[in-house]
Amino acid sequence: MNVIGSYALPLMIAGIILLGLFRTENMFNLFLDGATDGLKTMIKIIPSLIGLITAVEMFKASGALDVMTGSLTPVANFLHIPRDVIPIAIIRPVSSGGAIAMLDKILATVGPDSMSGRIASVMCGSCETTVYTTTVYYGAVGVSKIRHTLIAAFTADFAAMIMSSVACGFIFS
Amino acid sequence: MINYIWSGMILISVFFAALNGRMAQLSEAVFTGCNQSVQICLTIAGAMCLWGGLMRIADKAGLTGAIGKVLGPFIRFLFPGLDPKGPAARAISMNISANLLGLGNAATPFGLEAMKHLQKENPLQTTASNHMVTFVVLNSASLQIIPTTIAVLRARHGSKSPMDIMPAVWIASLSALVVGITLALILNHHKAKLKNEKNGDALQAAAGKA
């Protein structure tokens, strides 16, 4: 399974380049356009990342993170999730910037190739910011009664958390 | 919501730091925090640009359209009663393909367009229709084929193979998607049934009175 992971990116890039070579005319210009767009997105999220990463850093330095993680350890044990990744599980559905900040912190502490580091990464990659998506999509069309949307979406997030841990346990041990 | 979480984190930090006598560390954290965030942004920026560029090529070479075609039966199953060739179905399929390719920027406008078309067919304008619920749940599950940002963060911290988490990410996000969609479809069905029963009762009551 590990092999798939290391092959996927180079093969995908090669595939895209081949496709572009045959089916587009100004491939490099397209690349530049897309890259500029990526930069624009980046500039849009920098302010929120600065705010959130500073908050995460403060939260950790004050000892509050240890208290929160400690108090949720029984729940995590029950769900077979390592305690180091609890902060990710909490913040991921709410804020993607916050999750990036938290993941950076966790990877620095436990190392990216440790089991907890991998589970934290997978959690970050397998969930979307549910709260943001719901607000933006319904807000755009003026729907206020969203019925069972959040129940279904949060259950999905919960499943992603559990399955991140299960899948990593299955693949990496 | 983010207002409460952000302010909560900062206020709780100050409170706990006072309690634990860690005010000096807290002040230090304020500066390391904002310095680090710029570093993280710079690290991620490279991958964001590279990926954005490659995906633009893939998009223009017809990959988004091709994925959209593959998704046809899937969309017909998830959105029963929706015209499979209509503008709503088209926007939904473009939204899913863009999400799969990690083009978050492109996915949102398609998503909003899809919501607008779904709203046109929505009888109760302020209440979400079944299709809307399914669509938003679909979008709140992350369906990215290559989680670029996370791989970059892993590389930044010295991971030997930053991409090796991909199969696990696919498994976890697919399971989440299946769980979320199943629940949404069951509740769609269940609630619709309840409504019919209520209407039925009302009809019977009216018949009884007459």
The ipTM (two decimal places) reads 0.84
Phi (first) and psi of residue B35, to 5 degrees: -65, -45
Identify the CA nearest to B7 among candidates A172, A95, A86.
A95
Q: What is the pLDDT of residue A148?
A: 92
The helix (run of H) or strand (run of E) holding residue B90 is helix B87-100
Q: Read off the tokens for B33.
A: 């925090």
Residues B96 and B169 in one domain: yes
How many whole angstroms separate alpha carbon B123 and alpha carbon B121? 6
The reply to whether B203 falls in a domain is no
- Ramachandran category for residue B81: left, alpha or beta (phi over 0 → left; psi -120 to 50 → alpha): left
Q: Is residue B154 part of a domain?
A: yes
Tell me which residue range forms the domain holding B127: 62-196
pLDDT score for A4: 63
Which two structure tokens, joined as six digits, stand for B123?
């009888």
The residue among B42, B60, B78 that closes a domain is B60
B113 and B86 in a common domain: yes
Secondary structure (3-state) at B141: strand
- Inter-chain residue contact B171 with A163, CB threshold 8 Å: yes
Residue B208 lies in a domain: no
Same domain, B68 and B93: yes
Report the number of distinct structural domains present in chain B.
2
Are B105 and B45 in a shared domain?
no
Task: Tell me how close the Cα of A82 comes to any Cα of chain B, in angstroms.
Answer: 16
Pick the last residue of a domain from B36, B60, B84: B60
pLDDT of residue B210: 47
Q: Is B32 contained in some domain?
A: yes
Is residue B87 situated within a structural domain? yes
Tell me: do B121 and B34 sit in the same domain: no
Same domain, B17 and B104: no
Whether A155 has its CB under 8 Å from any CB of chain B: the answer is yes
Nearest to B142 among A45, A127, A155 (CB): A127
Question: Does residue B210 belong to any structural domain of this protein?
Answer: no
* B100 interfaces chain A, CB cutoff of 8 Å: no
* Intervals of chain B under pLDDT 70: 1-2, 105, 191-210
Answer whether residue B162 is part of any domain. yes
Q: Look-up: residue for tokens 């046109």?
A: B120
- Burial (CB count <10 Å: 0-12, 13-18, 19+), residue B178: middle
Predicted pLDDT of residue B38: 86
Q: Give me the average pLDDT of each 10-residue run along chain A (173 residues).
A: 66 90 92 89 81 88 89 90 90 84 92 95 90 87 90 93 94 88
B77 and B140: one domain?
A: yes
Q: B82 and B24 share a domain?
A: no
Residue B205 lies in a domain: no
Query: Same domain, yes or no, for B108 and B24?
Result: no
Residues B164 and B116 in one domain: yes
Which tens digits make up the pLDDT trace of A104-153?
999 999 999 999 999 999 999 998 888 888 888 998 898 988 999 999 99
Residues B44 and B71 placed together within one structural domain of the fold: no
Q: Is B62 left (phi over 0), alpha (psi -120 to 50) or beta?
A: left
A53 close to B (CB below 8 A): yes
| Residue B4: partners with Cβ closer than 8 Å, 6 or more residues away | none
* Domain identity same for B6 and B37: yes
Looking at the partner chain, which of A16, A42, A146 has a beta carbon nearest the beta carbon of B54? A16
